[in-house]
Structure 1
Amino acid sequence: MTLTGHSLIAGEAVAGTEGRAFGINPSTNEQLEPAYGLVSTEQLRAATAAAADAFKPFSSLEPVRHARFLETIADNIEAIGDELIERASAETGLGAERLRGERARTTGQLRLFADVVRRGDFRGVRIDPALPDRTPLPRADIRLRQIPLGPVAVFGASNFPLAFSVAGGDTASAFAAGCPVIVKAHNAHPGTSELVGQAISRAVRDLELHPGVFSLVYGAGTSIGQELVADPAIKAVGFTGSRAGGTALMRTAAARPEPIPVYAEMSSINPVYVLPGAVRGDADALARQYVASVTGSSGQLCTSPGLLFVPAGEDGDRLADAVARALTGQAGQTMLTEGIASAWQQGFRSVESAAEVELLARGQAGTTANAPAPAIFSSNLDVFTGNRVLHEEIFGAASLIVRYKNVEDLAEATDLLEGQLTASVQATEEDYASAAALIPVLERKVGRIIINGWPTGVEVGHAMVHGGPYPATSAPSTTSVGTLAIHRFLRPVSYQNFPQELLPAPLQDANPWQVNRLVDGEAEIQPR
């Protein structure tokens, strides 16, 4: 496929007029062709106006065609082949194996949402039939469904150029809800974004949908990104990135004449708790698993474990020694951008200079550019609870081991943590009583709790929560991964005493779309 360096606005390739940006190979810091033109305010408004025009027909799309649209996007992405993997690898430094897995996750979640659309459960149909003879007062006929919010702005993430970007989870769930999408491409992987954007545009064209269903624009987040969120046509925002970036979008969205929701996934250090029984087990195996979770993808995962609570004493010493051995042979991997690598170095220096914090172990610098040596620090619980610097995320391969004396102290320390995406507990059967006391505290702090596992690796399914209290996310009642993500872009509407002729299809007695419904409190399940 040919890269044009253009934005895709309602199906048309549009040359931006407000400067240029290039992808950069982070392994070499070399500039990649072509140049990408940055859109003007007028060009952005053309995209939002087209999305507003597309909303009515797209939001009422019949389920079979709607699901086929999502599946066609997945088919088109796979049809790009190795060109997509090669370009994404050049722009991000992520290896081909990791990117092939990410592509499979991207297409898999599109097909999963296609199944959701066909079943129709997400529409949340509830019917309370009229009870005209009820005393002392009759009941009106009341029917409810979830309807899409409107056009959604999605911001591509730096660390997942496929699964959290142009056709990633935010886009897939917004499309499944019936919302047109405008994606602000991440400038670190513009070519990857264009290839995927072309795949989506072809699906729009192949299904003969309104072209405003999808647009992809290039521009600075501080200008075009903010203008996109401020545009009155936009009704919700999906974002994965830094806390500073997410909170800036939240302020813009809240200051609008019509405030809109921002679903921002931001920062998390994902604590892991090693309880006394677990620490007496195979220290080398536990250390290898921990180091692998810290260093995978150069630590540039939102679920990377930045904090490991370990008992003080001989067993804890044995685990710390095993961690040092496991990390020493690890070489740094290329980070996503020179700026991200620089921020990692700054975070490393901040923790290294903190009082009563030891650099427990450090690997080796990688042989490419922007590949700092991974690092693990060590301190004790009193120091950790008294120094907020140690609670801050270092985005990359770095983590802190915190030694504790008593299991009872862990609940108090956990109360001091900010909101997190995950918490993990390493425990044996003898630890279950301690774990049971800790879990209610964790429930108040995180979106996902893991027993005897590690936080990296997020399954895309029906029961997954990838979210948590602020600053892990801006909306702790939601998730950005899994089928529950669709509900971010819906709202309920009730229809009272409507004649059948005026009811939307899912609410009609005949149920022409064959969706599952709750009728007078009883489930009405359609055969599949």
Structure 2
Amino acid sequence: MSTTSPAPRPAVEEVAARAAAVAPVLAATAPAQLAAGLRAAAAALRADADRLVATAAEETGLAPAPRLRGELERTAVQLEMFSQVALDGSHLDARIDEADPGFRPVPRPDLRRMLVPLGPVLVFAASNFPFAFSVAGGDTAAALAAGCPVVVKAHPGHPRLSAAVTEVVRAALEGAGLPRDALQLAGLPGAEGPDDDGVAAGVALLRDERIAAASFTGSQRAGRHLADVAASRRRPIPFYGELGSTNPVVVTPGALAATTAEAFATAYATSATGSAGQLCTQPGFVLVPAGALDADGGELLAALERAFSAVPEHRLLHPGIAAGYAARREAVLASAGVDVVVAGGVRDSDDGGSGQVWTTPTLVRTTLDALLAAGPELREEAFGPLSVLVEHPGVDAVAAAVPHLYEGELTAGLHVTPEEAQTAPVAALVAALSRVAGRVLFNGWPTGVSVTPAMQHGGPYPATTDAGRTTSVGTAAVTRFLRPVTFQDAPQAVLPPALRDDDPWGVPRTVSRAGESAGWGAVQG
């Protein structure tokens, strides 16, 4: 495989200027053509899958199959899903209020409202999903569907893949009749010398007045810094940052009795250690009934030891993640009230120069009281294959503890029987979890985020910077890159196509007819 370095990036100024130039073109592009471009991008990625997957595996250490091939397919599906969003047009939320001289308390003018594209969007690529949250990932697909050009800040963990995917998608967009500069790449490491990590380019673009919004998936430290940059601009812009999550899973006595120790342990270990635990929905804390681990001669504890110990060594994505994981692991192991179940480990590569770090899973146990008494050294996310078993005295105690343990999570899970689900303590627990998590799932594990319209991938801060009001997965993600505008008594010739009487785009519209207000609120039929 070629080891040629990616081509040098264009200057930040040039990238921003190109994005600004193409923004009005995309904003005026018909939904059907936007959809065609997204479908073409999906087809092009599938057609070049062998090369792209091989490059991704080499740069990230993630398994080619099923991990990376599955992720590439997910990325293609995301593009197709947002092509349907663009084609349908309902995301534009077009509303027309006909002029109504009889409207109370004063006559109503002709009002026409819709959501319009914000403009150039800066997407900071993530390390752990080199396809699905990178150059052609969900943020890019949503922004293009909204009619916004995209500039992707390349992640240093997979620069050659980023360059390759960019060229594949740009060619596909151009072939479908969209501007090639609808997608651009910036911030490739080494573009301005051997010490250039590309960070400066990303920050410079975020400060550029032509960038209208930004999205980010990564660490809380980096995300907070970028959010502050976006907020400190002369004209602050929306910044949608996903900053991580511990994804607690609560298990009831009935749910544990309804399965086998081996089945529970296998499913738990698979979720906690897949891709070396480098997933934003990795279950960092699993709360099990007190006494369950040691019951029946320690059957469950032994099954968990076997399941976690059987997971082979896996390479971490890059040195920055490795350093952060090693520090968090040491802090957890040193926390009061923590006992080791499976020690696991972290080691540097034997080649002495690659900077690669390898790890095996770590599993520890503690109690709910100890977790409540602990500080951030135990409670914070460990981005890697580490999980904490927490013994709880009952779901009522967990419900009471949730506000003290969790501020914002991407997910929260509950393993419960149908009979237990009808009880007041479980209802109280579900209510508590729903206040701190964007997705509450039952009798499953949080890893594996379905690419589907109703998915919510975002939660209250610190899971995301916007208090969980939006999502980065699912069709609702498109709304992040739109804003409302109302046109009052506007001539037909100057209205956007979606609001004109002849409706050339054919998008869904809500129309309030003259005279309808007299019957508002009346029961029909």
- Same topology, TM > 0.5: yes
Q: What is the DSSP-based 3-state SS (H/G/I as helix, E as strand, rest coil) of the residue aligned with 1:127?
A: strand
What letter is aligned with 1:88? A
Q: Equivalent of 2:365, from 370, 378, 381?
A: 378
The yes-or-no answer on 1:77 pairing with 2:58 is no
Q: In the alignment, what sits opposite 2:275?
A: 297
Q: Equivalent of 1:343, from 324, 332, 340?
A: 324
Q: Equivalent of 2:154, from 167, 185, 189?
A: 185
What letter is aligned with 2:277? G
The yes-or-no answer on 1:237 pairing with 2:214 is yes
Q: In the alignment, what sits opposite 1:513?
A: 505
Q: Equivalent of 2:385, from 397, 400, 404?
A: 397
The yes-or-no answer on 1:406 pairing with 2:387 is no
Equivalence map 1:11-410=2 (5 Å): 33-36=3-6, 39=9, 43-97=11-65, 98-217=67-186, 218-219=188-189, 220-281=197-258, 282-314=260-292, 317=295, 318-363=299-344, 370-388=357-375, 389-410=377-398
Q: What is the DSSP-based 3-state SS (H/G/I as helix, E as strand, rest coil) of the residue aligned with 2:77?
A: helix
Structure 1 gaps, min length 5: 4-32, 523-528
Equivalent-residue separation in structure 1 for 2:77 and 2:294 (angstroms): 41
What are the Cα deviations for residues 266-298 of structure 1, in whole angstroms up to 9, with x where unaligned?
110000000121122322211111111001111
Equivalent-residue separation in structure 2 for 1:209 and 1:406 (angstroms): 57
What are the Cα deviations for residues 425-449 of structure 1, in whole angstroms up to 9, with x where unaligned?
0001232123211111111101000
What letter is aligned with 2:110? D
User: Would you say the 8 A contact 2:9–2:185 is kept in 1?
Assistant: no
Deviation at 1:499, TM superposition (A): 2.5
Taking a change above 3 Å as real, the CA distance of residues 56 and 405 of structure 1, as seen in their structure-2 partners, is: same
Deviation at 1:493, TM superposition (A): 0.6
Deviation at 1:365, TM superposition (A): 7.2
User: Would you say the 8 A contact 2:241–2:464 is kept in 1?
Assistant: yes
Q: In the alignment, what sits opposite 2:192?
A: none
The yes-or-no answer on 1:494 pairing with 2:463 is no
Equivalent-residue separation in structure 1 for 2:183 and 2:393 (angstroms): 55
Equivalent-residue separation in structure 2 for 1:46 and 1:327 (angstroms): 50
Q: In the alignment, what sits opposite 1:12?
A: none
Q: What is the DSSP-based 3-state SS (H/G/I as helix, E as strand, rest coil) of the residue aligned with 1:35?
A: coil
Equivalent-residue separation in structure 2 for 1:364 and 1:225 (angstroms): 34
User: Would you say the 8 A contact 2:412–2:446 is kept in 1?
Assistant: yes
Deviation at 1:325, TM superposition (A): 2.5
The percent identity for this pair of structures is 42
Deviation at 1:360, TM superposition (A): 1.3
Q: In the alignment, what sits opposite 1:459?
A: 450
Compute the TM-score of the two structures, normalised by the length of structure 2: 0.90
Equivalent-residue separation in structure 1 for 2:481 and 2:487 (angstroms): 20
What letter is aligned with 1:239? F
Equivalent-residue separation in structure 2 for 1:266 and 1:378 (angstroms): 25
Q: What is the DSSP-based 3-state SS (H/G/I as helix, E as strand, rest coil) of the residue aligned with 1:470?
A: coil
Equivalent-residue separation in structure 1 for 2:505 and 2:280 (angstroms): 38
Deviation at 1:363, TM superposition (A): 4.9
Deviation at 1:407, TM superposition (A): 2.0
User: Would you say the 8 A contact 2:38–2:173 is kept in 1?
Assistant: no
Deviation at 1:115, TM superposition (A): 0.8
Q: What is the DSSP-based 3-state SS (H/G/I as helix, E as strand, rest coil) of the residue aligned with 1:131?
A: coil
What letter is aligned with 2:91? F
What count of residue pairs does the alignment treat as equivalent?
A: 490
The yes-or-no answer on 1:423 pairing with 2:412 is yes
User: Would you say the 8 A contact 1:329–1:364 is kept in 2?
Assistant: no
What letter is aligned with 1:481? V
Q: In the alignment, what sits opposite 1:441?
A: 432
Taking a change above 3 Å as real, the CA distance of residues 246 and 367 of structure 1, as seen in their structure-2 partners, is: closer
What are the Cα deviations for residues 73-108 of structure 1, in whole angstroms up to 9, with x where unaligned?
112212223111111000011111111100100111
Equivalent-residue separation in structure 1 for 2:347 and 2:312 (angstroms): 5
